[in-house]
C-alpha cells in the first residue's frame, strides 16, 4: 500500500498541466456497437474523475479525446465500476481505434459509474521507462564478476578465460545495441530479462548447462538486488552503475572492448546524470518490483553476514545519508520565527557510521559506499573498493580524456557494409541483441583454440543423470567439470546444497527460437 500512496502523492506534485479537449463517448447497449446508444459530450481534463453512470453498456466508441501524454507517448481512457473512479478498472489507449466490442468479457458490463482520462507528465515517467538500461548494465557486470571468479578459481587457461569475458562484454556493450537499449522502454518481465542474459552468456566460446545458467542468473539478481537496497537514496544507483562499468572495463584487455565500455559510460552519464529525484525514485521502485520476493541464498553473502538463512538481506547504515537528508539523532526546537532555538542530540543505531551527504550531484562525491558496484568476489575486496576510491566524476573525466566520445568509425574498427534497422521498441531491441549474438561463432563452427568450452559452474553431482546438460551437446564438445566449492571452506558445501532450482521458473523454451518470438508475451 505504501508504494501506491507515495506514487499518488508524487503524481499530484509532478503533473503540472494536462491537456483539455471536447470529446465524445458513445455507449452502446449491444455488443459490436449495436442497439441503442447513449452519448456523453464533455470537455475532458486529464487526471480528472467524471461520475457518469451508464446503464447496461456493452460496447464503447470515442472520438476527439486528447491523445498527447506520456504514457508511452499516448493517453488512456479508463472506465471504473464504482463512483469517484474506484472499483474494477479497464483502460484503452485513446489513439487506438480497436474499441471495446464486448464489455462482458472485460468484466465491467452494466457497471460503469465513472471514467478518467489518464495523462502522466514526462518527468514522472522517465524513471520507469529508463529502468531496462540500468538493469541490464548492472546485472551484466555482476555476471562478468561471477564468471571471472569461477574461471580464475578453477585455473582455466588465461587465453580462454579472457576470450570468454571479452566476447561477452563486447556483445553486451555493442554500440548499436546499447543505443537501442538506452531508448525509453517498458520494463521487461523476469523471464524476458533472463532470455537476454541467456543470449549474452552464450555469445562467447563458453557453453553453460541449464543448472549453471540458472544459478549464475540467481547470483546476478541477488548481487544487484543487494546493491539497490543498500543505496541510501535512489540517485546512488548512478554511482553503482558507473562503478560496475569501470570494473568491467578493468577485467578486459582488448582496447576495442574498453572503448565500447567507455561509450556506455558516456551514455549512462548523458541519460542519468541530469535525472531529477522523482525520476530516480520511480526507477528504484521499478527495480524493487523486479526483485520482489527474490530471496536466494548466496554463500558469499551468508559468510559476510549480509544475508540471513531465510534469504533476507541485511542493510547497513554506513556511508552518506540520503541526498538532502541529515544524520539522524538531532532534535531541533524552533521559536515563533522559525529559527532554531535549541538542539539536542541522542544516540541512534541507524546513525552509526552515517555522514551527511554533500550538496550537488552524486557524481561529484567521494565514494564512502565504495563497496556498491564493485566486485564482491575478488579475493582482495574486503574493503570493497577493489583499488578504486575516486569520485565517479573523475572516472567520467578519464573516459572523456581517452576519447570515449569518438564516433563508432574509430580506426581499427570496421563498420559492417550492411546494417539492419531496428525500431526503438522492446521486441526490436531484443531482436537486435539476438542478431548481434548470432554473428558470434557457434559450437559447431569453431575449431582449434576457439573450440567451445563447456562449463558447469555449480555442479551438485557430476555423475548424476542430467546434471551435465543435453547429451547431444556433450557429444559435440568436450565437457570440463569445474568444482565450484574447491576454493571454499568445506562448510560452504552445505550452503551450496541449499541452492534449489525453481521448476516453475525454468523455461520450456525451444532452442534456436528467434528472440522476438520469445518476447511476444511481454506485450
Same structural domain, 175 and 46: no
Query: Would you say residue 459 lies in a domain?
Result: yes
Q: How much is the mean pLDDT over the chain?
A: 71
Interacting residues of 172 by C-beta distance below 8 A, sequence separation 6+: 136, 140, 200
Position 154 scores a pLDDT of 79
- Angle, vertex CA 137, rays to CA 136 and CA 138, nearest 5: 95
Query: Would you say residue 82 lies in a domain?
Result: yes
Number of Cβ within 10 Å of residue 176's Cβ equals: 16
Q: How far apart are CA 184 and CA 186, in angstroms?
A: 7
**Which of 86, 120, 154 is the last residue before a domain boundary?**
120
Same structural domain, 114 and 154: no
Q: Is 430 exposed, middle or buried (0-12, 13-18, 19+ CB in 10 A)?
A: buried
Number of Cβ within 10 Å of residue 314's Cβ equals: 13
Position 173 scores a pLDDT of 94
Same structural domain, 400 and 493: yes
Same structural domain, 115 and 198: no
**Which of 91, 120, 149 is the last residue before a domain boundary?**
120
State how many domains the chain has.
2
Query: Would you say residue 305 lies in a domain?
Result: no
Same structural domain, 144 and 26: no
Position 167 scores a pLDDT of 92
- Per residue in 262-278, pLDDT tens? 999 998 988 888 787 87
Same structural domain, 36 and 175: no
Q: What is the DSSP string of 456-517?
A: ESS-S-TTSTTTT--HHHHHHS-EEE--TTTTS-THHHHHHHT----GGGS--PPTT--HHH
Going by the DSSP 8-state scheme, the letter that residue 74 receives in this structure is B
Same structural domain, 172 and 93: no
Per-residue cell: 442: 557457434
Are 212 and 457 contacting, i.e. CB atoms less than 8 angstroms apart? yes
Burial 75-85 (b: 16+ CB within 10 A, else e): bbbbbbbeeeb
Rounded to the nearest 5°, which phi and psi values hold at 483?
-80, 110
Same structural domain, 147 and 110: no
Query: Would you say residue 317 lies in a domain?
Result: no
Going by the DSSP 8-state scheme, the letter that residue 357 receives in this structure is P
- List the single range of 50-64, 330-344, 379-393 with lowest mean pLDDT: 379-393
Q: How far apart are CA 66 and CA 135, in angstroms?
A: 33
Query: Would you say residue 354 lies in a domain?
Result: no
| CA nearest to 368, candidates 236, 509, 497 | 236
Segments forming the whole domain that contains residue 35: 17-120
Mean pLDDT of 214-227: 93
Residues of the chain with pLDDT > 90, as a percent, come to 16
Interacting residues of 344 by C-beta distance below 8 A, sequence separation 6+: 330, 331, 333
Query: Would you say residue 500 lies in a domain?
Result: yes
Element (H, E) at 241: helix 236-250
Same structural domain, 253 and 384: yes
Are 106 and 90 contacting, i.e. CB atoms less than 8 angstroms apart? yes
Same structural domain, 76 and 151: no
Position 401 scores a pLDDT of 54
- Per residue in 459-488, pLDDT tens? 544 434 444 444 444 444 333 343 334 444
Are 505 and 296 contacting, i.e. CB atoms less than 8 angstroms apart? no
CA distances from 222 to 138, 215, 219, 248 (A): 12, 11, 5, 18
Q: Are strands 76-82 and 354-355 parallel, antiparallel or unpaired?
A: unpaired
Burial 93-123 (b: 16+ CB within 10 A, else e): bbeeeeebbebeeeebbebbbbbbbbbbbeb
pLDDT bracket for residue 69 (50, 70, 90): low
334 has which bridge partners? Answer: 340
Same structural domain, 459 and 387: yes
Q: What is the CA radius of gyration of the chain?
A: 26
Are 283 and 131 contacting, i.e. CB atoms less than 8 angstroms apart? yes
Same structural domain, 386 and 433: yes
pLDDT bracket for residue 428 (50, 70, 90): low
Are 69 and 19 contacting, i.e. CB atoms less than 8 angstroms apart? yes
Q: Is 181 left (phi over 0), alpha (psi -120 to 50) or beta?
A: alpha
Grid-cell match 447497449, residue found: 29
- 103: domain CATH number is 2.60.20.10
Position 290 scores a pLDDT of 92
Mean pLDDT of 214-224: 93
**Which of 97, 120, 143 is the last residue before a domain boundary?**
120
Query: Would you say residue 313 lies in a domain?
Result: no
Query: Would you say residue 377 lies in a domain?
Result: yes
- Per residue in 313-347, pLDDT tens? 988 777 777 777 788 888 989 998 889 999 888 88
Position 119 scores a pLDDT of 63
Q: How far apart are CA 147 and CA 245, in angstroms?
A: 16
Amino acid at each position: 500500500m505504501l508504494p501506491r500512496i507515495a506514487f499518488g502523492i508524487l503524481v499530484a506534485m509532478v503533473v503540472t498541466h494536462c491537456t483539455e479537449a471536447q470529446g465524445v463517448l458513445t455507449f452502446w447497449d449491444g455488443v459490436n456497437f449495436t442497439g441503442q446508444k447513449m452519448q456523453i459530450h464533455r470537455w475532458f481534463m486529464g487526471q480528472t474523475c467524471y461520475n457518469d453512470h451508464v446503464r447496461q453498456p456493452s460496447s464503447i466508441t470515442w472520438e476527439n479525446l486528447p491523445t498527447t501524454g506520456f504514457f508511452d507517448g499516448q493517453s488512456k481512457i479508463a472506465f471504473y465500476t464504482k463512483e469517484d473512479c474506484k472499483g474494477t478498472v479497464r483502460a484503452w489507449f485513446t489513439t487506438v481505434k480497436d474499441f471495446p466490442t464486448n464489455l462482458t468479457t472485460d468484466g465491467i458490463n452494466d457497471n460503469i459509474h465513472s471514467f478518467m482520462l489518464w495523462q502522466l507528465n514526462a518527468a514522472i515517467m522517465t524513471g520507469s521507462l529508463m529502468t531496462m538500461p540500468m538493469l541490464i548494465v548492472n546485472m551484466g557486470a555482476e555476471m562478468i564478476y561471477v564468471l571471472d571468479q569461477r574461471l580464475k578459481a578453477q585455473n582455466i587457461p588465461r587465453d580462454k578465460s579472457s576470450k570468454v569475458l571479452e566476447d561477452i562484454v563486447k556483445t553486451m556493450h555493442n554500440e548499436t545495441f546499447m543505443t537501442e537499449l538506452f531508448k525509453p522502454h517498458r520494463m521487461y518481465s523476469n523471464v524476458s530479462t533472463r532470455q537476454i542474459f541467456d543470449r549474452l552468456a552464450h555469445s562467447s566460446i563458453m557453453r553453460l548447462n541449464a543448472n549453471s545458467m540458472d544459478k549464475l542468473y540467481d547470483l546476478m539478481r541477488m548481487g544487484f538486488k543487494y546493491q539497490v537496497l543498500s543505496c541510501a537514496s535512489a540517485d546512488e544507483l548512478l554511482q553503482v552503475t558507473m562503478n560496475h562499468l569501470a570494473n568491467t572495463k578493468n577485467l578486459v584487455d582488448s582496447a576495442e572492448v574498453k572503448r565500447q565500455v567507455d561509450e556506455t559510460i558516456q551514455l549512462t552519464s548523458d541519460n542519468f546524470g541530469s535525472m531529477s529525484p522523482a525520476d530516480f525514485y520511480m526507477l528504484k521502485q521499478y527495480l524493487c518490483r523486479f526483485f520482489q520476493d527474490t530471496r536466494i541464498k548466496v554463500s558469499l553473502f551468508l559468510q559476510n553476514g549480509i544475508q540471513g538463512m531465510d534469504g533476507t538481506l541485511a542493510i547497513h547504515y554506513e556511508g552518506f545519508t540520503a541526498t538532502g537528508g541529515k544524520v539522524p539523532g538531532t532534535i531541533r526546537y524552533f521559536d515563533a520565527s522559525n529559527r532554531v532555538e535549541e538542539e539536542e542530540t541522542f544516540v541512534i543505531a541507524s546513525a552509526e557510521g552515517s555522514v551527511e551527504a554533500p550538496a550537488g550531484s552524486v557524481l561529484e562525491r567521494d565514494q564512502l559506499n565504495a563497496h556498491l558496484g564493485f566486485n564482491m568476489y575478488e579475493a582482495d575486496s574486503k574493503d570493497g573498493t577493489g583499488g578504486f576510491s575516486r569520485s565517479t566524476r573523475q572516472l567520467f573525466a578519464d573516459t572523456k580524456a581517452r576519447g570515449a566520445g569518438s564516433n563508432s568509425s574509430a580506426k581499427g574498427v570496421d563498420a559492417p557494409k550492411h546494417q539492419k534497422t531496428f525500431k526503438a521498441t522492446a521486441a526490436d531491441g531484443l531482436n537486435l541483441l539476438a542478431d548481434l549474438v548470432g554473428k558470434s561463432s557457434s559450437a559447431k563452427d569453431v575449431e582449434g583454440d576457439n573450440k567451445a568450452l563447456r562449463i558447469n559452474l555449480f555442479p551438485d553431482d557430476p555423475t548424476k543423470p542430467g546434471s551435465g546438460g543435453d547429451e547431444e551437446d556433450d557429444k559435440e564438445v568436450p565437457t570440463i567439470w569445474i568444482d565450484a566449492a574447491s576454493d571454499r571452506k568445506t562448510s560452504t558445501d552445505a550452503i551450496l546444497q541449499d541452492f534449489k532450482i525453481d521448476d516453475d521458473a525454468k523455461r520450456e523454451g525451444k532452442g534456436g527460437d528467434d528472440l522476438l518470438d520469445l518476447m511476444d508475451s511481454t506485450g
